[in-house]
Chain A
Amino acid sequence: GESVGLHLPTLSVQEGDNSIINCAYSNSASDYFIWYKQESGKGPQFIIDIRSNMDKRQGQRVTVLLNKTVKHLSLQIAATQPGDSAVYFCAERNGGSNYKLTFGKGTLLTVNP
């Protein structure tokens, strides 16, 4: 089956730098995408989402970009802080009435002070 994947399994950045986490998806019919943050020992936490009719959405210090032409999703974190250290993964909605998501494996972001 089709699944969401990530380009980079680990990312290490300096505090204050901007971080970019990437995700490739293969299902051209997916209409909705979500980024989650998961800290060690905790459940995934919703960060930001985007619908397929949008190219960009901004939140507080985070921006999600969607490029449907190349089926690519990215999460940008501005002024990365130590508290941003976590695993980040994307998810795509497969459509259908019962709303199932397919999740990527995740990228570990480490922020160095």
Chain B
Amino acid sequence: DAGITQSPRHKVTETGTPVTLRCHQTENHRYMYWYRQDPGHGLRLIHYSYGVKDTDKGEVSDGYSVSRSKTEDFLLTLESATSSQTSVYFCAIRRTGTAGGTDTQYFGPGTRLTVL
């Protein structure tokens, strides 16, 4: 358990509506990530954050924005949801793994988003 919660866990919305997903961590990690997972694709990075108010784009950032106003929360916003954004969204944090102190990523439970 990496101390990560995501909310909501499930959401159904309509095309054109704004949606915000929340990732909350309890371990004060600096780095946080948002991914989407779709059939036929590996996890794809949307945005990541390397500190409060410090964020950067991933490989599939179009249509998404993020905010990090405090260490424990990383928000992902779909300004105007489209059907192509139907997916499962995972948040991850970066912390030390087991191979000689190397950092690795640990994931939250996911949010299943359906855009009708």
Chain A min CB distance to B107 (Å): 4
Instruction: Scan A32-53; emit 1 where CB is below 8 A from any B CB, else 0.
Output: 1010100001111110111100
A104 vs B37: C-alpha distance in the bound complex, in angstroms? Answer: 11
Q: Is A105 a contact of B104 with CB atoms below 8 Å?
A: no
Bound-state Cα–Cα, A8 to B110, Å: 25
Interface residue tally for chain A (C-beta within 8 Å): 30
Q: Which residues of chain A come closer than 8 Å to B104, judged between CB atoms? A: 32, 34, 46, 49
B97 interfacial by beta-carbon distance below 8 Å: yes
With A49-B102, A103-B42, A105-B41 already in contact, the answer to whether A98 and B97 are too (CB < 8 A) is no
Point out the residues of chain A lying under 8 angstroms from B106, CB to CB.
46
Q: Quick check: B108 and A102 within 8 Å, CB to CB?
A: no
Chain B positions within 8 Å of A, measured between CB atoms, are 31, 40-45, 48, 50, 56, 58-59, 90, 94, 97-100, 102-110
The 7 closest A-B pairs by CB, nearest first: A103-B42, A43-B107, A103-B43, A49-B99, A49-B97, A44-B107, A43-B109
